[in-house]
Amino acid sequence: MKKALFPGSFDPITNGHVDIIERASEIFDEIVVGVANNTSKNGMFSLAEREALVKASVASQTNVSVVTINGLTAEYAQDHGIQTIIRGLRNAQDFMYEEPIAQMNTVIGDLDTMFLLAKPQNTMLASSMIKEVAQAGGDVTEFVPAPVAKAMQQKLMR
87 is in an annotated binding site: yes
Helical segments of the chain, H only: 15-27, 47-57, 73-79, 92-109, 127-135, 146-157
68 is in an annotated binding site: no
10 is in an annotated binding site: yes
Residue 90 is a catalytic residue: yes
88 is in an annotated binding site: yes
Of 17, 50, 57, 131, the catalytic one is 17
23 is in an annotated binding site: no
111 is in an annotated binding site: no
Q: Answer yes or no: are the C-beta atoms of 48 and 55 closer than 8 Å.
A: no
| Bridge partners, residue 127, by sequence | none
Residue 41 is a catalytic residue: yes
Of 3, 23, 55, 90, the catalytic one is 90
Residue 17 is a catalytic residue: yes
126 is in an annotated binding site: yes
Residues in the chain: 158
Pairing of strands 30-36, 112-117: unpaired
Which amino acid, one-letter code, is at 26? E
127 vs 117: CA distance, rounded Å: 17
What is the distance of C-alpha 21 from the center of its chain? 8
What is the enclosing helix (H) or strand (E) of 141?
none
Of 2, 41, 46, 80, the catalytic one is 41
9 is in an annotated binding site: yes
Of 25, 50, 57, 127, the catalytic one is 127
Residue 65 is a catalytic residue: no
List the catalytic residues: 17, 41, 90, 127
Binding-site residues from annotation for ATP? 9-10, 17, 88-90, 98, 122-128
Binding region? 9-10, 17, 41, 73, 87-90, 98, 122-128
Annotated binding-site residues for substrate read 9, 41, 73, 87
